[in-house]
A = this chain, B = another copy of it.
Amino acid sequence: MKLFNNDDTKVFALGGLGEVGKNMYCVMHNNEIIITDAGITFPGNELMGVDYIIPDFTFLKKNESKIKALFITHGHEDHIGGIPFLLNSVSIPAIYAPNQAVGLIKKKLEDRGIQYKNLFVYDENTKIKFKSIEIEFFRTTHSIPDSHGICITTPNGTIVTTGDFKFDFTPIGPMANLHKMAEIGKKGVTLLLSDSTNALSEGMSMSESKVDGALQEIFAREKGRIIIATFASNIYRLKHIVDTCKKNGRKIATFGRSMDNNIEISIEGGYIKYKEIFVTPEEANNLPPDKVCLLCTGSQGEPLAALSRIADGTHKQIKLQQEDIVIFSSSAIPGNALSISRTINKLCLKGVQVYTNTSLSDIHTSGHGSEEELKLMLRLMKPKYFMPFHGEYRMLKKHADIATLCGIPKENTFALGNGDVLSIYKGEIKRSGTIQAGDVYVDGNRIGDIGSVVIKDRNIMANDGIIVVIANIDTINNKLLGKVNITTRGFVQVNENEELLRTIEFIAKKAILSKLDKEVNYSEIKNEIVNSISSYTYNITGRKPIILPVIMDIKKNS
């Protein structure tokens, strides 16, 4: 890493730049490293079978002794989901998080059987001082209570990271602390890192309070059961729904593990009142329709989530009734449009009435600020330098443009990638090399043992299947022993393609025999099998399955 000199302060991301997910930003000064957030990403379809993506922790592992603490801005998965994996590979002296996030982190560690003692709650009045770095916090508004921005003071300047935020002047929870933000801005901010998720949206996001009105209108009008699907992580929305049910005399049954967890932790933390309003699914089934609300996961059409099973008619406890009303109090995460519309079609087929945020826009609002809110943050903090974070590249770039509109010189804005390093020295910032960063795949309970070859093989098998060709060869007498065995999966329907498979067997046998007139060379035989079968199958079927030849020599192995 190139440095101004040894006394500079470095800022870099291990995740969160060029993507919406796995947020992890670091500030390093001499022998001190401060980490903010440790998130995961849920991968797209093309990463076959990968459950999560986490940041590459190599740099942290190598600099383990310098790490002072991990600070969490709020309790969403893209900010806390990576903690169990981080703790399993890197020693972290302390984790500081706001109250609601601490509840979620505890549950997460408990589920994975991880013992960790140094998890501390911070609030807006907390100040933490390390040798050369000081940390303080300011309250923001997001879709989960206790979201905070973090102000990191170093000998070379002050760095502010917003966490996820929107501005909502009629919020459900407490107001964001505009005055503290103004104060921090007035003292002078060298570098602002700010949330770019909705940088492409113009204007200002709708207040969460407006959702209240839209929900109340539906509750007042409808007499059937009300089924609401929403993000389990959107605690303010859950609070809304609970309050609206209370007002309208409906009991609530919840469905989905993440929903249960979030409700439980929010009741414990006092964010959701009226514990007595919750009933079991059985109790709900015994109440009149207009006294019931079913609150469930599955707003993205996830096939195994509660709502999808209800729509499919495969849910054990809930059967749809003609008079039911289903509300999607959510928006479509890009990539989920098809699964959501599939769920809606099934619900419509059952005769149920469906409200979505396209049919009734006030039914959902985002937790991230749009352009004008981003400008307000920029104006309050009035930083000398700006680094958009939390977003795909096009969002970062737009956010940098927005910063320029707010008076920050273009050359002082940095739309970077993970691993790119900024070096701060006496209030001046320069690009300064890169450190190791990237995607690490978690599949099942194993970290990082899925590489590009595995993903490539999965892709081929997903599209065209596999043909396994097994032959026993007597390498002493250069003879093929027994039949060549052809087994396929995902290639063609076996019982309807016996002739095709016999031909493949014949081709394989011919390929093997053609190579047995001289000393046996396994890879030559395998190549011949692969080439002759793949050209035949491509001609006949138009498919390119994996051809997997296994040549065995029993005598040698015995």
Q: Which of B338, B348, B470, B541 is in CB contact (< 8 Å) with A44? A: B338
CB distance from A556 to the nearest CB of B (A): 8
Does A394 contact B558, Cβ atoms closer than 8 Å?
Answer: no
Does A348 contact B461, Cβ atoms closer than 8 Å?
Answer: no
B-facing mask of A536-558, CB < 8 A → 1, else 0?
00101111001010101111111
Given the interface contacts A44-B338, A493-B449, A541-B446, does A558 sit within 8 Å of B461 by beta carbon? no
Instruction: Verify if A279 is at the interface (C-beta below 8 Å from B).
Output: no
Chain A facing B: main interface SS: mixed
Residue of B nearest to A537 (CB): B444
Given the interface contacts A459-B462, A554-B472, does A341 sit within 8 Å of B394 by beta carbon? yes
Instruction: Verify if A220 is at the interface (C-beta below 8 Å from B).
Output: no
Does A548 contact B338, Cβ atoms closer than 8 Å?
Answer: no
Does A446 contact B542, Cβ atoms closer than 8 Å?
Answer: yes
Does B558 contact A482, Cβ atoms closer than 8 Å?
Answer: yes
Residue of B nearest to A50 (CB): B463
CB distance from A419 to the nearest CB of B (A): 15
Instruction: Verify if A149 is at the interface (C-beta below 8 Å from B).
Output: no
Q: Residues of B contacting A445 with CB < 8 Å?
A: 541-542
CB distance from A299 to the nearest CB of B (A): 16
Does B345 contact A338, Cβ atoms closer than 8 Å?
Answer: no
Pairs A-B, 6 closest by C-beta atoms = A444-B542, A462-B462, A482-B557, A49-B463, A461-B461, A482-B554
Instruction: Verify if A453 is at the interface (C-beta below 8 Å from B).
Output: yes
Contacts A334-B341, A472-B554 aside, 7 further interface pairs with beta carbons under 8 A come to A337-B337, A341-B392, A345-B392, A348-B397, A446-B541, A466-B466, A483-B557
Instruction: Verify if A91 is at the interface (C-beta below 8 Å from B).
Output: no
Q: Which of B334, B444, B459, B481 is in CB contact (< 8 Å) with A541? A: B444
Instruction: Verify if A1 is at the interface (C-beta below 8 Å from B).
Output: no
CB distance from A394 to the nearest CB of B (A): 5
Cα separation A388 to B438 with both chains bound (whole Å)? 50
Instruction: Verify if A458 is at the interface (C-beta below 8 Å from B).
Output: yes
Instruction: Verify if A121 is at the interface (C-beta below 8 Å from B).
Output: no
B-facing mask of A323-348, CB < 8 A → 1, else 0?
00000000000110110010011001
Instruction: Verify if A457 is at the interface (C-beta below 8 Å from B).
Output: yes
Given the interface contacts A463-B49, A468-B468, does A548 sit within 8 Å of B489 by beta carbon? yes
Q: Which of B18, B359, B458, B542 is in CB contact (< 8 Å) with A465? A: B458
Among residues 7 to 24 in chain A, which have CB atoms less than 8 Å away from a CB atom of chain B? 18
Residue of B nearest to A351 (CB): B397
Given the interface contacts A470-B470, A493-B453, A548-B468, does A481 sit within 8 Å of B345 by beta carbon? no
CB distance from A20 to the nearest CB of B (A): 10
Q: Residues of B contacting A453 with CB < 8 Å?
A: 493
CB distance from A388 to the nearest CB of B (A): 12
Cα separation A168 to B391 with both chains bound (whole Å)? 39
Cα separation A45 to B335 with both chains bound (whole Å)? 11
Query: 25 A-B Cβ contacts within 8 A?
Result: A49-B543, A341-B392, A341-B394, A345-B394, A354-B394, A443-B542, A443-B543, A444-B541, A453-B493, A454-B465, A454-B490, A454-B491, A457-B465, A461-B465, A461-B466, A461-B489, A461-B490, A462-B462, A468-B468, A468-B548, A472-B472, A482-B555, A482-B557, A485-B552, A487-B548
Among residues 497 to 521 in chain A, which have CB atoms less than 8 Å away from a CB atom of chain B? 497
CB distance from A306 to the nearest CB of B (A): 20
Instruction: Verify if A358 is at the interface (C-beta below 8 Å from B).
Output: yes
Does B489 contact A543, Cβ atoms closer than 8 Å?
Answer: no
Q: Residues of B contacting A492 with CB < 8 Å?
A: 446, 449-450, 454
Instruction: Verify if A304 is at the interface (C-beta below 8 Å from B).
Output: no
Q: Residues of B contacting A553 with CB < 8 Å?
A: 482
Instruction: Verify if A476 is at the interface (C-beta below 8 Å from B).
Output: no
Residue of B nearest to A452 (CB): B493
Given the interface contacts A497-B449, A558-B481, does A18 sit within 8 Å of B490 by beta carbon? no
Among residues 333 to 389 in chain A, which have CB atoms less than 8 Å away from a CB atom of chain B? 334-335, 337-338, 341, 344-345, 348-349, 354, 358-359
Does B487 contact A550, Cβ atoms closer than 8 Å?
Answer: yes
Cα separation A49 to B460 with both chains bound (whole Å)? 9
Q: Residues of B contacting A334 with CB < 8 Å?
A: 337-338, 341
Instruction: Verify if A200 is at the interface (C-beta below 8 Å from B).
Output: yes
B-facing mask of A389-413, CB < 8 A → 1, else 0?
0001110010000000000000000
Instruction: Verify if A464 is at the interface (C-beta below 8 Å from B).
Output: yes
Instruction: Verify if A90 is at the interface (C-beta below 8 Å from B).
Output: no
Cα separation A465 to B456 with both chains bound (whole Å)? 11
Given the interface contacts A45-B45, A557-B482, A558-B481, does A470 sit within 8 Å of B550 by beta carbon? yes
